[in-house]
Amino acid sequence: MRDEFAPYLASIGILQGVILQRIKTIYEFFREECGEEIADIFVTDYITEDGSREYENLWFFSDRCCMEAKGFITRDEFDSAPLKNRIVRWEVRKQDYDFKKAIQESRLYLRVFLEEEWAMGLKAAAGNCDYLRDIFRRYVVPNVKE
């Protein structure tokens, strides 16, 4: 797995252990099976009522496509879709977030619609909102179909 991913994963509380090993295994799967140079990583997360962070889905992005591992901690359910000029619409829902700097209460949800009625949903809590904002700017906005 790329060394550049370590600071991001540490920032959302994934420092070592079983979850990190699982991410490495899934990264290798996508790299080998999709043949893509993976450029970015994102983990959907949310904060529970008791204040703990829960991780849901694992995303990887390349110049051409996105790759998702649903319920990545306990399941082996993977998909991939090309993004290049295929986005027909996107929606952003935010709470306590100014699209500049996240605070602990920040929440961000991004829904992206591609051709053929396929959609992807990514959500983030606290500081992870800044990373989702960057994914939005880097992979969604430039690939909106004209």
Q: What is the mean pLDDT of the chain?
A: 95
pLDDT digits (tens, 9 = 90+) for 21-61: 999 999 999 999 988 899 999 999 999 999 999 999 999 99
- Those residues with Cβ within 8 angstroms of residue 86's Cβ, 6 or more apart along the chain or in another chain: 114, 115, 143, 145
Q: Tell me, what's the pLDDT at 109?
A: 98
What percentage of the chain exceeds 90 in pLDDT? 91
pLDDT at residue 146 tops 90: no
Among 143, 135, 140, 84, CA closest to 112? 140
The full set of domains in the chain, from first to last, is 5-143 (2.30.29.30)
What is the pTM (predicted TM-score) of this model?
0.92
For residue 22, report the phi and psi dihedrals to the nearest 5 degrees: -65, -45
